[in-house]
Amino acid sequence: MAIEGITSRDGIGLTLFVAQGRQDEAAAFYRAVFGAVSPRHWINPRTGEVTGIDLLIGRATFTVSGANPKRDADPALPGPCTPSPQGRGSTIFQLCVDDVDAVLARATVSGAIVRTAAQDAGWGDRVATIIDPFGYIWALATIQRELTAEEFNARGNIQLVEAA
């Protein structure tokens, strides 16, 4: 069964799990720092608790949800848990922004840790990396100049090869 307006048919559905009870705080961080909008909340009808918040950054959508405390207490239980320790994960979220320096400033004021300071990268972007207050790593980039594959490769970076 599909819910009107909610589908991952055009992409991947993504849920960021944070410590139970911090989903409102996480959504507020993503709204303040990345300009996210939250068109929809998921509410437990028995308790009235917000269990998830849908967010939209540009055309990308994701949900912030509280991790099940039972999974945090017993790592042997299957399923998602709170990211731990902070900034130690197997995923980095990449986000293009209009002004890396401005987003980095908002992020640090809002509780993020700078992992990599803003710098001009050899491939033409201005980049920075943060760890948000919920343990997730975000690679931020402002595209200053788009390079062709030939220009990119000529700079001695990792070689970019078109798929056959």
Q: What's residue 1's pLDDT? A: 39
Please check whether the domain covering 83-155 is classified as CATH 3.10.180.10. Answer: yes
Chain center to CA of 20:
18
The one-letter code for the residue type at 69 is: P
What average pLDDT score do residues 140-158 get?
Answer: 80
| Three-state helix/strand/coil letters over 10-68 | CCCCCEEEECCCCHHHHHHHHHHHHCCEEEEEEECCCCCCEEEEEEEECCEEEEEEECC
Q: Which residue has the higher pLDDT, 5 or 63?
A: 63
Instruction: Parse the chain into domains and list their residue ranges.
Output: 1-75, 83-155
User: pLDDT tens-digit profile of 81-137?
Assistant: 787 767 777 788 999 999 999 999 999 999 999 999 999 987 788 999 999 999 999
Q: Which fold has domain 1-75?
A: 3.30.720
User: What's the whole-model pTM score?
Assistant: 0.82
Mean pLDDT of the chain: 85
pLDDT for the residue numbered 10: 58
User: Are the beta carbons of 20 and 58 closer than 8 angstroms?
Assistant: no
Residue 2 has pLDDT above 60, yes or no: no
Q: Which residues pair with residue 130 across a beta bridge?
A: 114, 138
